[in-house]
Chains A and B, each alone.
Chain A
Amino acid sequence: MAEPVLEIANLAVAIKGSGDRPHAVRGINLTVGANEIVCVVGESGSGKSVTAQAVMGLLPKNAMEVETGSMRLQGEELTAKSDADLRALRGTRMAMVFQEPMTALNPVERVGDQIGEVLEVHTDLDPAARRERVLEMMRAVHLPDPEQMIDAYPHQLSGGQRQRIMIAAALVLDPALLIADEPTTALDVTTQAQILKLVKEMQGRKKTGVLFITHDFGVVSEIADRVVVMQMGRIVEQGPCEEVLRNPREDYTRMLLAAVPSMTPPRRSPVSGPIVLQTDKLFKTYGKRSLFQPKARIVHAVSDVSLTVRRGETLGIVGESGSGKSTVARCVARLVEATSGAIRIDDVDIASMKEAKFRPMRRRVQFIFQDPYRSLNPRRTVGEAIIEGPMNFGLPRKEALQRARDLMAVVHLSPDAIDRYPHQFSGGQRQRICIARALAMEPELLIGDEPVSALDVSVQDQVLKLLDEVRRKFDLAVLFITHDLRVAAQVCDRIAVMQRGVIVEQGTTSEVFAAPRHEYTRALFDAAPGRNREFFVDKAPEAALPH
């Protein structure tokens, strides 16, 4: 191989002040060759983003600094460079694409100008030539109708289009190195597939070296030439993609791979318990035309959704963002009011019940939220969070506390931890607490709105196992909202696929996965990263995982 585009040797980045560890990353050795995609995988806090920021010279100045080691961009040492020199390199020879294209783009500047800014700073092209180059680049990233879109503002574009703009801006000067920090994490799965394809195509065009940061092994298998696995600021393992994914040498890699849910749903026997939840022609629309706003926009978030969940059964609602899957869940939990239709819990229609009348029934329907960091009040102890519900329903404090302790054990946390505050727990632990809080109400229906999508893959695996365990133990009906087909395959008995507020397909998990009928379902499956790959390695590390 010729000279690598990026060569990092023994890099250590120190965290200033007191952190949970003295170094954000330590002993990092990695290279990115020309025309090569290197994926850095790791869970949150593994130091993968810090590595990227160190290369770009974008480390937060008052929090971190490069302590030792060298970083060479095409043989040129970066660590000794001044801010001005680094600035000259950024955009010209190395460029970065960020996770969230909406916040990475300036909302009040036209997208064409934002791509053109790179040219304006680094070249002496005149405005007409710049515009020509921007248009050329927008065509290269397959944006429709570039002549129109060049004058659009970011909010007028879709998420995928915005990310294309970001990629165009990053690559407009043909840098040797492109760093992509979770560029598809904020995107829907079908969009993600397109962006991954684009990254690969753009990389092949000019033989760019790509450092691609991700937490998703599906994405890795789609795109990587080589893989670097990081844990707690160190590189655990690196090697060619196939080798690492097929024959991981390290236990940690094996554990991560084993935690990736399989796309093949396990065999499940149909559930025939009594129906707990039934929705009938549920509609939810936002916006209303009135005398004063005759042209108000009306959004049909949910249209004509009819579904049932039996006791002991998990119904998954799968769909992309904006498909209305969360809205269905929120209607059922009465966090928003349905516009029309019936929601029957044990044959009682709750859709249009008055809140005061419905409150006694709240006990039966419990909700688990996506973000474990925001679903617990930071000012109240975990115990207070768990006993709040039972005490609302008249359970004396002492008994409620005893129940809280018992439930902490059920979710595999120490019962003594009920006196602690949420910030003392990790994300996975908090999600366990949220499950305990829901269980304290002795519900019949448990609604999980993406309950594992904010969690790392190994933690996600544990929380899913816990959810399955409590479902069995308490014979719960579960409504499980997710965008992740792998998760759905593993936890759901039946699946409803939603698109633009409508259920396009409904059936048992094995049926839907074996033979999707609707074209949208097929598109979803096609877009799932690494769909043809099983990451299941062997049983050995499984034993190390808690059940």
Chain B
Amino acid sequence: MADVILDTPIAAAPVKPNAARNLVRNPGIVFGGAVIAIVVLMGLLAPWLGTIDPTAINPIARNKVPGAEFFQRTDTGERIKMIALFGTDGLGRDVYSRVVYGARVSLLVGVSVALISVACGLFIGVLAGFFRIFDAIIMRIMDGLMAIPAILLAIAMVSLFRSSVLTVIIAITVPQIPGVVRLVRSIVLSVREEPYVEAAVTLGTSTPKLLWRHVLPNTFAPIIVQGTFICASAILIEAILSFLGIGVPPEVPTWGNIMAEGRQVFSLFPHNIIYPGVFLAMTILSVNVLGDGLRDTLDPKMAKRV
């Protein structure tokens, strides 16, 4: 009885599609990834991209149109001639420098909100989905959180605490968590009924191991996709908050508050709004396109349905 039989030959090579190759094939991922990479580099390398201090006020050079020349006094007292690529604003600050530095805040807020809300959502969602006793309580709390509008929460938090990037991140994160929790919970609820999870139970696998090995990996693909969409909406909400003047402190340049300050003189000097607006739109578009591409590659079922 020692002979080895196979009712059909075992498939020779793994037919698992090469995930990395599929990612590169998707035009959305390539385009979105490339634009985001450029914006990230721009934010990181801001001081070396021909910028000047984005907060430096220059009363002589107020409201210059894009391409105009102006003189800027440096720390050592010299006057240097500069070209205002994107023009200057009502206080004579260089819009180009402000837009480049502004990318930092937008990306920081977008990425941190996505990471924090996904991490919290994953944890709470697994608790709610796997342990029945927590389910009803957690989900009612989440329903409550969902009823809080992000912008009102931000206004409340800024008036309670000092306005800072951290306040903004928390204010945007909190209303995003319930969405992630619901997503994770629904996945966990269906995965826990899978026979392979029950098999692991009969094998005596402890609950933390069970969650880590058999349940959590199923949530990764949808979570990555959800994360990108959260990132995009966080960037947008941050811009809205800054535009309303309740976001990060006004001395920190962000795309939102650059636009807010340009609002009064929009009909005369539209460059104050157009340039940060274009960057904001491009960033959000490419994050969303990237998210769509990831969803199509990581979750083929969704792709077919569309």
A434 to B10, CA, bound (A): 16
Tell me the minimal C-beta distance from A453 to chain B in angstroms: 14
**The one of A375, A388, A412, A425 that contacts B10, using a Cβ cutoff of 8 Å:** A425
**Known interface pairs A421-B14, A423-B15, A424-B15; A375-B4 also in contact (CB < 8 Å):** no
Judged by a CB distance under 8 angstroms, whether A497 is at the interface is no
A residues near B71, Cβ cutoff 8 Å? none
Judged by a CB distance under 8 angstroms, whether A371 is at the interface is yes
B198 engages A369 (CB within 8 Å): yes
A412 engages B198 (CB within 8 Å): no
B8 engages A429 (CB within 8 Å): yes
Chain B interface residue count, CB cutoff 8 Å, equals 29
Q: Which of B10, B198, B199, B217 has the most CB of A within 10 A?
A: B199
**The one of B5, B11, B15, B204 that contacts A360, using a Cβ cutoff of 8 Å:** B204
**The one of B1, B15, B199, B209 that contacts A375, using a Cβ cutoff of 8 Å:** B199
A371 engages B15 (CB within 8 Å): no
B residues near A270, Cβ cutoff 8 Å? none
**Interfacial residues of chain A within 198-253, with CB under 8 A of chain B in the complex:** none
Judged by a CB distance under 8 angstroms, whether A362 is at the interface is yes
**Interfacial residues of chain A within 498-547, with CB under 8 A of chain B in the complex:** 546-547
Q: Which of A392, A420, A428 has the most CB of B within 10 A?
A: A392
A residues near B196, Cβ cutoff 8 Å? 374-377
**Interfacial residues of chain B within 174-210, with CB under 8 A of chain A in the complex:** 194-196, 198-206, 209
Judged by a CB distance under 8 angstroms, whether A157 is at the interface is no
Judged by a CB distance under 8 angstroms, whether A413 is at the interface is yes
Considering the complex, give the chain A residue whose CB is closest to the CB of B218: A379
A366 engages B205 (CB within 8 Å): no
A residues near B16, Cβ cutoff 8 Å? 421, 423
B3 engages A412 (CB within 8 Å): yes
Judged by a CB distance under 8 angstroms, whether A159 is at the interface is no
Considering the complex, give the chain A residue whose CB is closest to the CB of B217: A379
A409 engages B4 (CB within 8 Å): yes
B1 engages A420 (CB within 8 Å): no
**The one of A374, A388, A414, A437 that contacts B4, using a Cβ cutoff of 8 Å:** A414
B5 engages A546 (CB within 8 Å): yes
**Interfacial residues of chain B within 1-33, with CB under 8 A of chain A in the complex:** 1-8, 10-11, 14-16
Chain A interface residue count, CB cutoff 8 Å, equals 44
A426 to B203, CA, bound (A): 23
B residues near A371, Cβ cutoff 8 Å? 195
B residues near A471, Cβ cutoff 8 Å? none
A-B contact count (CB 8 A): 96
B residues near A377, Cβ cutoff 8 Å? 196, 200, 213-214
Tell me the minimal C-beta distance from B238 to chain A in angstroms: 36
Judged by a CB distance under 8 angstroms, whether A66 is at the interface is no
A425 to B7, CA, bound (A): 10
B11 engages A424 (CB within 8 Å): yes
Considering the complex, give the chain B residue whose CB is closest to the CB of A379: B217
**The one of A376, A392, A437, A469 that contacts B206, using a Cβ cutoff of 8 Å:** A392
A409 engages B199 (CB within 8 Å): no
A335 to B202, CA, bound (A): 8
A424 engages B217 (CB within 8 Å): no
**CB-CB contacts of A348-359 with B at 8 A, as 1s and 0s?**
000000000001
A388 to B197, CA, bound (A): 12
A423 to B8, CA, bound (A): 13
Judged by a CB distance under 8 angstroms, whether A118 is at the interface is no
B residues near A333, Cβ cutoff 8 Å? 202
Considering the complex, give the chain B residue whose CB is closest to the CB of A440: B203
B residues near A370, Cβ cutoff 8 Å? 195
A365 engages B199 (CB within 8 Å): no
B residues near A458, Cβ cutoff 8 Å? 7
B204 engages A392 (CB within 8 Å): yes
**Known interface pairs A421-B14, A424-B11; A362-B5 also in contact (CB < 8 Å):** no
**CB-CB contacts of A399-436 with B at 8 A, as 1s and 0s?**
00000000001001110010011011110110000100
**The one of A335, A363, A393 that contacts B198, using a Cβ cutoff of 8 Å:** A335
A residues near B4, Cβ cutoff 8 Å? 409, 412-414
B residues near A423, Cβ cutoff 8 Å? 11, 15-16
Considering the complex, give the chain A residue whose CB is closest to the CB of B9: A426
B7 engages A428 (CB within 8 Å): yes
B7 engages A459 (CB within 8 Å): yes
B residues near A429, Cβ cutoff 8 Å? 6-8, 10
Tell me the minimal C-beta distance from A457 to chain B in angstroms: 12
Judged by a CB distance under 8 angstroms, whether A380 is at the interface is yes
B10 engages A547 (CB within 8 Å): no
**The one of A360, A393, A426 that contacts B7, using a Cβ cutoff of 8 Å:** A426
B204 engages A362 (CB within 8 Å): yes
**CB-CB contacts of A29-71 with B at 8 A, as 1s and 0s?**
0000000000000000000000000000000000000000000
A185 to B113, CA, bound (A): 51
**Known interface pairs A369-B199, A414-B4, A437-B199; A393-B204 also in contact (CB < 8 Å):** yes
**Interface pairs (27), CB distance under 8 Å:** A333-B202, A359-B204, A363-B204, A369-B199, A370-B195, A371-B195, A377-B213, A380-B213, A388-B203, A389-B203, A389-B204, A392-B209, A393-B204, A412-B4, A414-B10, A420-B10, A423-B16, A424-B10, A424-B11, A426-B8, A429-B6, A429-B7, A429-B8, A429-B10, A462-B7, A546-B5, A546-B7
| Known contacts A424-B15, A546-B5; 17 further A-B pairs (Cβ under 8 A) | A335-B201, A335-B202, A360-B204, A366-B202, A367-B202, A370-B195, A374-B194, A375-B198, A409-B2, A409-B4, A412-B6, A421-B14, A423-B15, A424-B10, A429-B8, A458-B7, A462-B7
A-B pairs, top 7 by smallest CB distance, nearest first, are A389-B203, A375-B195, A362-B204, A546-B5, A369-B195, A424-B11, A377-B196
